[in-house]
Structures are given as structure tokens and as C-alpha cells.
A and B are shown apart, each in its own frame.
Chain A
Amino acid sequence: MSLIVDSITKRFGDVVALDDASFSVEPGRIFGLLGANGAGKTTSMRIVLDILRPDAGTVTWQGTPNTDLPRRTWGYLPEERGLYPRMEVGEQLRFFASLYGVSDADARREIGEWLDRFRIPDYLGRRVEELSKGNQQKIQFLAAILHDPDVLIMDEPFTGLDPVNVRLLKEAFLEMKARGKTLIFSTHQMETVEELCETIAIVDQGRVVVSGTVRDVKRAMNRQVVRLATDGDDNGAAWLAELPGVEVTADRQDFLELRVPADQDPELILRRALERGDRVTRFEISDPSLEEVFVEHVGRRAVSEDEEHLAATSAGAGR
């Protein structure tokens, strides 16, 4: 039984934030929610968390509607980070844990363990405002997981982190996955999605344009990517263009990137190159990158970000 978001629609005034959006997440998986600013990612998360009610549609987790689930089912890391700046780290985390019904003793033990893991054990008595951005983010993460939620929902968790902290947070993600938790996060960083996510959904203008396993989503593009490098004297573009359906998408310093329709055998390119007597130094067949998939689905639309931001704030929906 999984998390099922079924035909959710949400309007803020005249703005349609979500339009009949559906996706599902298998338990124990890491799920990526991708979309441009204002696409409806935060609104979807808030609706799953039941802090916002949809105009239509339902959300169920393991068969139970989210309106009937205890709050401790969920852990949430909001995009806009927020903690009490003048409260001490330990006291603050115990407060949030207490709201989820965690006993003080359990909370103290968990906090101690996690601060050790994050290599900041002596921050227990520090005020949050004295901490660096990265360390505040770690505390924010702890506030989301101390009550041991089944589903962890994180809105842009990697934004504003240096590479070391990104690494620590990814390790924490995998630790949570190893404990059998379900993780849902949104991000703009496609490499992170490729690295962590098993399933994704791409949201655009309130609609889920594609969802499923990363492999299926890529295959659904109906094409393959070929990277080719030869020692031929010309740049090779001319003879490649003669091949039916093949398109040169990038002409890099040391290789060409080609787009090949799914119904065509990419090895034809290799054969043709060898026939020409060129020495092939690189030949690689792969699925399109997630970035390509994303741009294909979302990026062609030329919408000013300011316009979207304005629409989102005037609707009072955040992003």
C-alpha cells in the first residue's frame, strides 16, 4: 500500500495551483517531485500533509485518508526554513518532539545521537541564531524526523547547502531509507535526483506531466542519446545528418551528442563511422538525462519567473 495522491485540484482565487494532479509513491522509496518555480510542488506537499485542504481529490497513505492519519505519520522540512531563533537547540528540538508525543527522555537520546552523527554534539545549548545556515538546516532536518515519521516530506532540502553538508544530508536520507522510511523531496538539482530517486513526478503549471520510475520516464522520451568521438578531420556533422532521424544536439570540444529515435538502432552510427575509416575513440549509448527530460517537458515554455512569483504570492499560496 502506497501514498496515493488522487486527482487533486486546488485554486487560490483565480489561480489554479493544482489541476487534477495524481501520483503515487511506494513505501520505502525515495521519490522526487520536480518542477519549475510555481509549478505546484509546495502546494502538493501541503495538501499531502493536510495543512491545506484541496478543492477536489483525495490523499491516502496505506489505505487511510490523510485527514484521519495521526500527525506523527509525517515529517516535514518546509522550503522556507523556520525555527525559533532565540531558543536553544536542545530545548527547541524537544519542544517539537513533544508536539508529536515523543517523551522527553526519548527525545533527548535521539537528539544526542543525531547531533553526534552530524558532528555538532556541542551545539545542544546554543541558540539557533548563533548557528551557521548549514547547521541550522541540520537542526531543521532533526525537527522533521525526531518523532520517527513514516513519511518524510522535504521541500528543496539541498538549497543553500555547501557540498559537505549536501553529502551529510544525503547520507541521512539513505539512513532514513534504510530504516524503511518513505522519502519525498522536491529539488531543482537533477544530479541529486538521478543519484537518489527511484521514482519521480514532473509537475508543470499544476499538472503532473509525467510520473513513474526514473527509467520509465526516460524511456518514455522515445529516444536514445549517443555520444560519439572520432579522429576524422571534419567535424562529422555532415555525414551524420544524412542518417534518418539522427540529430546532433550538442557539439562539444571532444565529442558529439546525438539524438536517435527509439525505433532506430544506434549501432548504425558506429557502423557508418567505421565504414568511413574513422577511428572511433568514444561510442556511448544511454537514455536521455533527467535534465533533458525535464527541459523537454517544462523548459520550452517561456514564462517569466517574476510573473509566476507574483501570481503565487497574490494567491497567497507561497510556491
Chain B
Amino acid sequence: MRDVFPNALHVARREYLFRVRGRAFKVTTALLAIAIVAITLVPTILGALGVADPPHIAVANEAGDIQPDPILTLQAALIAGADPGAAIDGETPDELPADERPRVTPTDDPDAAADAVRAGDLDGVLVISRDAEGELGFEYITSAGPTSQTRALVQAAASSIAIADRLEREGVTPAQQQAVFATIPFEVTAADPSDARDPEDFAGGFILAYAVVILTFMAILTYGNWVAQSVAEEKSGRVMELLITAATPRQLLTGKVLGAGAAGLTQYVVIIAALVIGLVASGPAADALGASGDLPFSLPTIGPVTIVTFAAFFLLGFLLYATLYAAAGSMVSRIEDVQQAVGPLIFLAMGGYFAAFTGLNDPDAGWVQALSVVPFFSPYLMPARMLLTSPSAAEIGLAIALLVAAVVGAIWLASRIYSAGVLMYGQRVGLRTILRAARVAR
């Protein structure tokens, strides 16, 4: 067998340039980048819109004396709802700037207040009454829909006002109530100190694991399909006979996978750059809009070794699938038949994808551990496990080694199928015919 390079690089270069110069590539990449920037900025913009207009609610107390003051209870609930972090951190409501603070004001005239709600000057009116048995009743007049967050907060506040009132009537003093509802100390200690993760960190890891699985899956499906499509195009356009005379199947196959892969990677780099721009811009954008630019979760800190490992899984996984996609593309005579030929590969890729999604919920399960070293699944499962639990270095090394072996085997098999397939033109070329021809192929 002749050397793979430099011809594979010539093929890769042609493939890459042809891809990235194409209008479809430019349009798709630009649209994806715009969409990503928009998606990262939307929460900030929405947050800014929400905070710019804090809720203002009027309370009409027709029930006489209620302890503690329902206005204070409601205000505390609304503040806690507007900034969940404040309640956890034990911040007092006074720390919110005045123009962001929800307002709760007393009123004696619920009808006038209801008119103000209809006019849009108030978010709602809470009318508190007391029936013959002394039980509190609440009526909330608002224009907001059932999904309104303020409405839910008001209902929760009403509930605690009523409970406090019942206890009060039963003779439980406010001091006793405070003692009953005092926060319970609850501490979680990780069995293995290295597993100790901040809950926000864990949420971030989870989101990142999803992202890695989805990105890997998309790369295999989209860019793998490019490879198959491109091989089938060369075959149906009959350039293949010229190519196969000038270069060996292995050179062509390797070049094709590298070229299409590099084009795909270019698209990914643009997307990730857009993501970074979006995230970086959301800070200043939030400042400009007067909102808090903090993400609702924090991304786990990832070391350079982990990033290199992720990249290795991603690239090797892509190589494995893309090589087989090239073989599949070489088996068909018409471009329309490509989808049918790559069917089994899509099935395999989806198997890994769904296994990873199921496995994310229980990353330490035995089957997840086992599958995470199996070549066709490891590109999804091992990075996900690395984000969620702590697989051993030996496991990661084994997964990489098996993946490399699978790539080498796939290149060998695919180049034989390729050299037999590219000269076969017919209605349908079965795998058996191909394999028989592949045995004598060069």
C-alpha cells in the first residue's frame, strides 16, 4: 500500500475549499451564528424587560386585624420570587434598588384599584375578607394570565397569610410560629470528597454534558452525510474513475473525511465563537438594559487536559463514523440512494445518542460504564460521564485506545469497500456483492 500522504491532503484541500466556498455553507453558517447570538441574548433581554417593570399590587384588607401584616408578607414573597438568590443568601429586601423593588400598597377602595388594574397602572388587587366562621378569603383581580409568575407568588403569599391567621386564632403566638417554621439545618456530605460538587456546578455540568452529546451527534449526522454525499456525487458524476486512477482508495477516503471534517469543524468554530460572543456580550448588554447578567447556573471549571480529551473523543468519533459514511456513499450509483445506504449508520449514531441521554440520568449505572468504552458509543458517553461523575483514567484511556483501534479498522474496511464499490454501477449493489469484490480489491 502506497503512502496515504500527501495525496490525502490534496484531496482534503479540494474538498474543504469546495465546501466552504459553497453558498449553502456560507448561508447555513451565518444563520446558525445569528441564531446562537440571539438565543444567548434573549434571556438577558427578557430579564431586563421583567426587572424594568417590578410588580405593583394593591391590598384591600376588609378582614380587620391580620397578624403578621399581609402587606409585608406579600412584599417579602414578591421580592423572594423576583430574586431567588436573595432569599437563599439571606439578603434583606432593602438591598434591592428602589426602582426594582416590587411594590405593595394598601387601598380602601378595591373598585377604584380594579379600574387601575384595567387601566394598566396596577398589576393586581388582592381583596382579603373574613367569613362568619372567621376564615380568611382572598380575591385577586388581575389582567395577568394563569402562567404569570406574580400571580403564583400572590397565591403562595395568600396561603401563608391564611395559615398564619389560623394559627393565630388557635392561640399560637408569632414567636412560637417563627420557631415552628424556622429553617431546618440540612447538610449533604459527599462520600468521596472528590465528588463533592456545588449544586449549581452540577447543573452546569449537566447542561454541558447535554451540549457535548448533541454537538457530537449533530456533527456525525451532518458532516458524515457530507462525506457520503460527496463520494456518491463523485461516483455518479463519474469523476471517480479518474480519481481512483490517480490515487489509492485509502488516500481518497482519508482525504475526503479530513476535508469534510475540517469544513464541519470550521462551521463549529463559528458557532462556538458566536456562543462565546453571545455570552460575553450578555454582560454589557445586561448593564445597558439595567438587568442582572448572571447566568442561572455556573459552568463547571474544565482543565486543559479535559478539553483535549473531549476533543479527542469528538474527532475520533467523527472519524469512525465519517469513514463508514464514505464507504456507504461508495456503494450507491445515484445521489438519491445515499440516505438508504447510510441508514444503518444513522441507526447506530442514534443508538449512541439515546443511550447517552438515558445514561445522563444515572451516569454510574453498570451499563453506562460498560457502553462508555465501546467505540461507537464512547464518543457520546465518556465525555458525558466525565462531566457528571469521575470515571478513572484507566477507563478513559481504554475508551480512547479502543476508539483508535476502531478507526484504524474502519479505514481498512472502508477502503476495501470503497475500491470495490466505486467502480460498481447498477440498480442496487448489495453489501454481499461489495464484500465479495472487496476481497480481491487492491
Contact residues of A with B, CB < 8 Å? 13, 46, 49-53, 55, 67, 71, 74, 76, 78, 80-87, 95-96, 98-100, 140, 143-144, 313-314, 316, 318
Contacts and interface: CB of A to CB of B under 8 A. Distances in A.
Contacts, number: 78
B440 A314 contact: no
Interface in B149-189: none
Q: Which 10 residue pairs spanning A and B have beta carbons closest together?
A: A82-B238, A316-B424, A99-B246, A82-B239, A78-B241, A80-B238, A76-B245, A98-B10, A53-B440, A99-B247
Interface in B196-236: 234
Given A82-B238, A84-B239, A51 B433 contact: no
21 contacts: A46-B423, A49-B245, A50-B442, A51-B244, A53-B442, A67-B442, A71-B248, A82-B242, A83-B242, A84-B18, A84-B234, A87-B18, A95-B10, A96-B242, A99-B10, A99-B243, A99-B247, A313-B426, A316-B426, A316-B437, A318-B425
A304 B433 CA distance: 26
A85 B426 contact: no
Nearest to A98: B10
Interface string B19-52: 0000000000000000000000000000000000
A98 B424 CA distance: 26
Contacts of B129: none
Contacts of B14: 87, 95
Interface of B: 2, 7, 10-11, 14, 18, 234, 237-248, 419, 423-427, 429, 433, 437, 440-442
A316 B425 contact: yes
Given A55-B440, A99-B246, A316-B433, A81 B238 contact: yes
B241 A52 contact: no
Contacts of A78: 238, 241-242, 245
A99 B13 CA distance: 12
Contacts of A46: 423
Given A81-B238, A96-B246, 13 more contacts: A51-B245, A51-B442, A53-B440, A55-B440, A78-B238, A78-B245, A82-B238, A82-B239, A82-B240, A99-B11, A140-B242, A313-B425, A313-B426
A157 to B, nearest CB: 14
Nearest to A72: B246
B423 A71 contact: no
Contact of B237 (A13, A49, A55, A84): A84
Most central of B237, B239, B419, B442 by chain A CB within 10 Å: B239
A74 B241 CA distance: 13
A98 B429 CA distance: 32
Contacts of B429: 316
Contacts of A83: 237, 239, 242
B421 to A, nearest CB: 9
B170 to A, nearest CB: 84
A71 B245 contact: yes
B425 to A, nearest CB: 6
A137 B106 CA distance: 90
A153 to B, nearest CB: 9
B423 A51 contact: yes
Nearest to A12: B437
Nearest to A55: B440
B241 A76 contact: yes
B335 to A, nearest CB: 13
Nearest to B233: A84
A143 B242 contact: yes
A316 B7 CA distance: 27
Contacts of A316: 423-426, 429, 433, 437
Contacts of A13: 433
Nearest to A85: B237
A85 to B, nearest CB: 7
B426 A314 contact: yes
Nearest to A140: B242
A213 B436 CA distance: 39
Nearest to A76: B245
A83 B243 CA distance: 10
A140 B239 CA distance: 10
A86 B241 CA distance: 18
B242 A76 contact: yes
A94 to B, nearest CB: 10
A99 B441 contact: no
